């Protein structure tokens, strides 16, 4: 894919896109996905908002003292019954984690590392619906579904201080557009971080957003420091067995500072292997409602082989990202804030687990010849990382009638 022209990127190769556009400037591609059809109807999208475990929110533009209002989900019937009174947008996050069949919408963007992907978001609204002029701290691909939308973007520098005061959402106070497009089904707009943008529905409109996470430095540092803090012995204390007599007891001596420096340097000693272990766990920590549940009754290898031989298959927990890191002697698989280790000689299985989302007996037959791999798969299954097919039905709630 690196050097292959990609139609959905306007004929750019993945390498060209990353070099010329990624985190640098917007890209608009007309007809990026020809004949695109929404995988969910408006009713099905609205139905997702009723689920307490799916993040959703309504954004209303209603005038008055508070022209913009935000209401977090889950939605109620009353929310939908009053929508005709105002301009509105419904925004639903983590769609692919709750409807795994929609993960295929992310496939075109797999030239970017899995750990950078945040979620698939969908927004639905009627004529005039919008979420206001704003900017994001992450990269996003905006794919137009049904209907049309007017997108405006601004290249003006944005600031944490340039927000509309007194509203529940972060809006740019003085938004002045530099470019504008009317987008239709299948059109794609890429926006790097901190580019002001404003999208307004033309009729009923659906937009699919593929967002990429960018963890804050403070979040990473806090989590790393907590890990280092937990490694310090609870009863460890400052000590100075070679203390010397002082003539100026009010002075803070260099010797005392040297001991403090030694304590901090010892606690904060770091190496690449330790950072790999920490970051792999940190970046795969599951979101709310996506934590895997360990099996109460652990599966045996005999039961697993029988299940697969009967036509069953394994699938990765839909809310979990699998990542691996290969060192000189072992390969680590990170999942749900944990790490699992195998000898480097078994890297084929780990790579296989990070390249697909489900596997049948034929796909696993070579790996299952190894006792180490058998136990590795069992551990992932028993920890809830890999699931046996449960045949769950898709979400199909109806919230309002189509026009």
- Is 185 a domain residue? yes
State the average pLDDT over residues 326-347.
Answer: 95
CATH number at residue 170: 2.60.120.650
The reply to whether 203 and 78 lie within a common domain is yes
Give the pLDDT band (50/70/90) at residue 65.
Answer: low
pLDDT the model gives residue 402: 44
Give the pLDDT band (50/70/90) at residue 63.
Answer: low
Q: What does the pLDDT look like over 203-243, one tens digit per residue?
A: 999 999 999 999 999 999 999 999 999 999 999 999 999 99
Strand order through the sheet with 358-359: 358-359, 314-316, 386-388
Radius of gyration of the chain (CA): 26
State the average pLDDT over residues 28-32.
Answer: 98
State the average pLDDT over residues 82-92.
Answer: 88
Last-in-domain residue among 228, 249, 269: 269
State the average pLDDT over residues 374-396.
Answer: 79
The reply to whether 247 and 341 lie within a common domain is no
- Is 28 a domain residue? yes
pLDDT the model gives residue 66: 61
Can you say whether the dihedral through the CA atoms of 220, 221, 222, 226 is positive or negative? positive
Q: What does the pLDDT look like over 257-281, one tens digit per residue?
A: 999 999 999 999 889 999 999 999 9
Last-in-domain residue among 212, 231, 250: 212
Does 64 score more than 80 pLDDT? no
The reply to whether 206 and 329 lie within a common domain is no
The reply to whether 26 and 174 lie within a common domain is yes
- Residues 6 or more apart in contact with residue 150 via CB below 8 angstroms: 180, 181, 182, 183, 199, 200, 202
Last-in-domain residue among 187, 212, 237: 212
State the average pLDDT over residues 178-184.
Answer: 98
The percentage of the chain sitting over the pLDDT mark of 70, rounded to a whole number, equals 95
- Is 357 a domain residue? yes
Domain that holds residue 232: 217-269
The reply to whether 327 and 191 lie within a common domain is no
pLDDT the model gives residue 391: 42
The reply to whether 61 and 152 lie within a common domain is yes
Does 395 score more than 50 pLDDT? no
The reply to whether 222 and 317 lie within a common domain is no
Does 162 score more than 80 pLDDT? no
- How many structural domains are present in the chain? 3
Does 200 score more than 90 pLDDT? yes
* DSSP state letters, 95-164: HHHHSGGGGGGGGGGTTS-GGGEEEEEEEEE-TT----SB--SSEEEEEE-SSEEEEEEE-S---TT-B-
| Half-sphere exposure for 179 (CA within 13 Å, toward CB) | 14
Does 86 score more than 90 pLDDT? no
Does 78 score more than 80 pLDDT? yes
The reply to whether 251 and 325 lie within a common domain is no
The reply to whether 205 and 227 lie within a common domain is no
**CB contact at 8 A, 148 and 202:** yes
- Is 394 a domain residue? no
- Is 16 a domain residue? yes
The percentage of the chain sitting over the pLDDT mark of 90, rounded to a whole number, equals 85
pLDDT the model gives residue 400: 41
The reply to whether 232 and 353 lie within a common domain is no
Q: What does the pLDDT look like over 105-154, one tens digit per residue?
A: 999 999 999 999 999 999 999 999 999 999 999 999 999 999 999 999 99
Does 100 score more than 50 pLDDT? yes
CA distance 264 to 261: 5
The reply to whether 64 and 203 lie within a common domain is yes
Mean pLDDT of all residues in the chain?
92
Strand order through the sheet with 148-154: 179-183, 148-154, 196-202
- Is 92 a domain residue? yes
pLDDT the model gives residue 2: 73
* DSSP state letters, 205-231: EEEEEEEE----HHHHHHHHHHHHHHT
Dihedrals phi, psi of 143, to nearest 5 degrees:
-105, 120
- Is 46 a domain residue? yes
- Is 293 a domain residue? no
pLDDT the model gives residue 1: 61
The reply to whether 204 and 242 lie within a common domain is no
């Amino acid at each position: 894919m690196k050097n292959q022209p990609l139609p959905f990127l306007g004929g750019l190769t993945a390498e060209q896109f990353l070099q010329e556009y990624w985190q640098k400037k917007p890209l608009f591609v007309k007809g990026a996905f020809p004949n695109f059809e929404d995988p969910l109807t408006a009713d099905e999208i609205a139905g997702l908002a009723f689920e307490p475990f799916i993040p959703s929110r309504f954004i209303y533009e209603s005038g008055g003292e508070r022209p913009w209002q935000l209401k977090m989900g889950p939605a109620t019937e009353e929310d939908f019954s009053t929508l005709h009174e105002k301009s509105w947008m419904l925004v639903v996050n983590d769609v692919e984690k709750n409807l795994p069949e929609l993960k295929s919408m992310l496939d075109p963007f797999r030239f970017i590392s899995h750990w950078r992907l945040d979620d698939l978001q969908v927004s639905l609204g009627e004529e005039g619906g919008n979420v206001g002029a704003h900017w994001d701290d992450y990269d996003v691909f905006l794919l137009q579904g049904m209907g049309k939308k007017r997108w405006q973007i601004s290249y003006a520098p944005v600031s944490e201080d340039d927000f509309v005061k007194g509203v529940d959402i972060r809006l740019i106070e003085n938004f002045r557009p530099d470019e504008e497009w009317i987008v239709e089904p299948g059109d794609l707009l890429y926006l790097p971080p901190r580019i002001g943008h404003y999208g307004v529905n033309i009729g009923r409109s659906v937009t699919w957003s593929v967002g990429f996470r960018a963890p804050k430095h403070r979040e990473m540092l806090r989590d790393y420091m907590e890990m280092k803090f937990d490694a310090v012995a609870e009863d460890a204390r400052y000590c100075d067995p070679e203390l010397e007599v002082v003539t100026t007891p009010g002075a803070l001596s260099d010797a005392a500072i040297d001991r403090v420096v030694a304590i901090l340097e010892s606690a904060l000693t770091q190496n690449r292997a330790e950072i790999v272990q920490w970051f792999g766990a940190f970046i795969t920590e599951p979101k709310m409602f996506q934590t895997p549940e360990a099996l109460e009754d652990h599966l045996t290898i005999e039961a697993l082989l029988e299940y697969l031989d009967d036509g069953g298959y394994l699938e990765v927990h839909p809310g979990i990202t699998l990542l691996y890191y290969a060192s000189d002697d072992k390969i680590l698989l990170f999942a749900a804030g944990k790490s699992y280790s195998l000898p480097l000689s078994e890297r084929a299985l780990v790579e296989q687990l990070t390249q697909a989302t489900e596997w049948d007996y034929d796909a696993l037959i070579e790996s299952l010849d190894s006792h180490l791999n058998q136990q590795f798969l069992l551990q992932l299954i028993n920890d809830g990382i890999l699931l046996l097919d449960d045949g769950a039905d898709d979400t199909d709630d109806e919230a309002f009638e189509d026009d």
